Structure 1
Amino acid sequence: MEELLLRVVPGLAEQWKGATPDAIARIERIAGRPLPPFYRWFLSRMGQSMGRLAYPTLDFSAQRVLERYAEEWVEPHPRLLLIAHDSKEMMPTSLFYDLDAPARGDALVAAKEEGADEDDLYERFETLREMLAWSALSRFRLDKMPQRCGGTFSGDHPEILSLVEPVMRRLGFKQPVSTGPYCGLYERADAAMICKGMPRHGFDEARSFELGGSDAGVLRKILGEIATASSLNVEVDEWAPALA
């Protein structure tokens, strides 16, 4: 994870700053159980500053998390732990860990609107690791590529990405970090692709994708190989810039 972030996020090594051990311990006391190992790593590296990886309205800092609990904006909960406060004025949706949904040394990340019931959660990513890696590739690789497209892979197979991954390997792509069945991250020198599904909603028949590369011909070839070799339905909803 460190290799990926330091490689794709400009200046991150000089910008990120970790939280103090005391702040991490205070968050763990609020959680009432050991923190997921990945979250402990995240706080130790970026608990004060995420550098250019920071989100526009989401504050992941340990200080802000502790302030929100101290101000009783959010109460300690046996399952949900605030990890990012949303500062949007309209319909803010802060992020919480669901500590009862651990995965690969991490936990499920869900969004909840201010004042919403604890069961009214919108699952975002199966892990915080996948959320950060997905965002880094999207913002610092895909968004900078000359041609991009987005759409969906769909089919009857219960794990869509298990059909995509062998095709991507054959095309020379590597996966920068390991992921679960809902998130796919693929890179090669001239292209990158990110895929996403919704955890715990039973939407196993589709995954959204964003693909970027040097030109439309490269992207069409990649998608054509996936459609041919995997038997998945490949639907492109948008090209950016729009094709003539």
Structure 2
Amino acid sequence: MKELIELISQYDPSYPQNLRGVSSEELLELEQLVGRPLPGRLKAFLRSMGKAPGNVLAPGCWPRAERIRHFYQGERRHRLSPRYIFIATSAQPQGREYFYDCGLLAEAEDCPIVQARQGMGGAPGEAFAPAFPSLRDMLFWVAFQTKRMEALPFRVFLRPSDRNAGYGAAETAAMILEDLEELMPRLGFRRLPSTSAQNPLFERGDAALAAHGSAAPQDLSVVLAAAQVRERARLWDLIANTTLLI
């Protein structure tokens, strides 16, 4: 979690002062309650900030030991398949719960993250939807959104255009992400190495862009933020003219 803390500290230097993690004994008790080993990435996060994750603007998306414990002390744990591990609840968007999907792996470093409506995860007939390819992607994407992009006052949300020449959703999403990887460095942005190709993060001194592809191409979303409204409009125009985003 050193990389994550270093990233957030670039935008909020006081951030590390408010972190508090769980002990090895508490982590072992949590694994016993869950009934299976926790992935290495989640254990590292909980050790660093599992009790107090600091001042984040989207606290519900951050795993908290007490919330995981509360879930597994309740009745809902009995209807959840053992392939899933509850990790977090977020009030936005629209009350979502997040789960690891670790399949039958006895131990893993990281796993895909899926989501469900709040209170419905594991319920009969309630399908899980892809959210992030890994907890690493989720944590860095949320941190960048809340600590970097929220500091830029002029934002715009972009979506795939209908002018996709007959390509399907998956092809369109792949083309957009590939085009962004090529275009953004030419516009002076650096690509943060923290996330996968599905969730690229770009920044420069006066602007930032975050794309979120999850594993469902129809859900591709892109957020552009800038310090000046005219620069946001200029970048928006360049992106719209170069990619299949509008």
Shorter-chain TM range is: 0.7 to 0.9
Gap runs ≥5 in structure 1: 236-244
Give yes or no for the alignment of 1:226 onto 2:233: no
Q: Percent identity?
A: 27
Provide the rounded CA distance (Å) in 1 between the counterparts of 2:89 and 2:240: 40
Q: What is the CA-CA distance between 1:166 and the residue it aligns to?
A: 1.6
Contact 2:114 2:132 in 1 (8 A): yes
Instruction: Say which of 139, 148, 153 aligns to 1:141.
Output: 148
The aligned amino acid for 2:81 is H
C-alpha offsets along residues 83-127 of structure 1, whole Å, 9 cap, x if unaligned? 1246x6xx853221111399x942222222324337521322222
Change (3 A) 1:59 1:198: closer
Give yes or no for the alignment of 1:36 onto 2:49: no
Q: Secondary structure at the match of 1:44?
A: helix
Provide the rounded CA distance (Å) in 2 between the counterparts of 1:150 and 1:59: 23
Provide the rounded CA distance (Å) in 1 between the counterparts of 2:37 and 2:222: 34
Provide the rounded CA distance (Å) in 2 between the counterparts of 1:72 and 1:59: 22
Larger fraction in strand? 1
Q: Secondary structure at the match of 1:193?
A: strand
CA RMSD, 1 decimal: 3.0
Matches within 5 A, 1:51-200: 51-53=54-56, 55=58, 57=60, 60-75=63-78, 77-85=81-89, 92-100=95-103, 105-112=109-116, 113-115=118-120, 116-117=123-124, 120-154=127-161, 155=164, 156=167, 157=171, 159=174, 160-199=176-215
The aligned amino acid for 1:83 is I
Provide the rounded CA distance (Å) in 2 between the counterparts of 1:93 and 1:207: 17
Provide the rounded CA distance (Å) in 2 between the counterparts of 1:168 and 1:216: 18
Provide the rounded CA distance (Å) in 1 between the counterparts of 2:56 and 2:193: 17
Provide the rounded CA distance (Å) in 1 between the counterparts of 2:181 and 2:158: 17
Larger fraction in helix? 2
Provide the rounded CA distance (Å) in 2 between the counterparts of 1:42 and 1:175: 23
Provide the rounded CA distance (Å) in 2 between the counterparts of 1:54 and 1:62: 18
Change (3 A) 1:225 1:59: closer
The aligned amino acid for 1:234 is L
Number of matched pairs:
226
Provide the rounded CA distance (Å) in 1 between the counterparts of 2:203 and 2:104: 28
Contact 2:56 2:147 in 1 (8 A): no
Provide the rounded CA distance (Å) in 2 between the counterparts of 1:48 and 1:54: 16
